[in-house]
Amino acid sequence: MATEWCSYIGSSFILNFYFSFFDIGKNSWPELLGTNGDYAASVIKGENSSLNVVVVSDGNYVTEDLSCYRVRVWVDEIRIVVRNPTAG
């Protein structure tokens, strides 16, 4: 039920509540900004193996659905993280 509910949320406040209430762990990795995208993905996956971590080139189109178990790592043309990796 929690996973189904999570896919319909649309607010950062609710997403943060979900992560803390269900003790999923971190949902944001601002310390990885400016690092290599593949390294960032491995750090995130190492901290929480249940997350689906995807490296995405900045400017690419992605689905707008939210998933508490997905983290997109946005990188530039030389694979440097350019956005704060956040679950959602």
Please say whether the beta carbons of 8 and 62 come within 8 A.
no
**For residue 81, how many C-alpha atoms fall within 13 Å in the half-sphere facing its CB?**
25
Look up the pTM and report it.
0.74
Residue environment code for 32-61, b if the CB has 16+ CB neighbours within 10 A, otherwise e: beebbbeebbebbeeeeeebebebeeeeee
pLDDT confidence of residue 57: 96
Over residues 27-86, the pLDDT tens digits come to: 899 999 999 999 999 999 999 898 999 999 999 999 888 888 899 999 999 999 999 999
pLDDT the model gives residue 5: 42
Domains of the chain: 2-87 (3.30.10.10)
The predicted pLDDT at position 75 comes to 98
Give the whole-angstrom CA distance, residue 32 versus residue 6: 25
Asked whether residue 7 carries a pLDDT value surpassing 50, the answer given is no
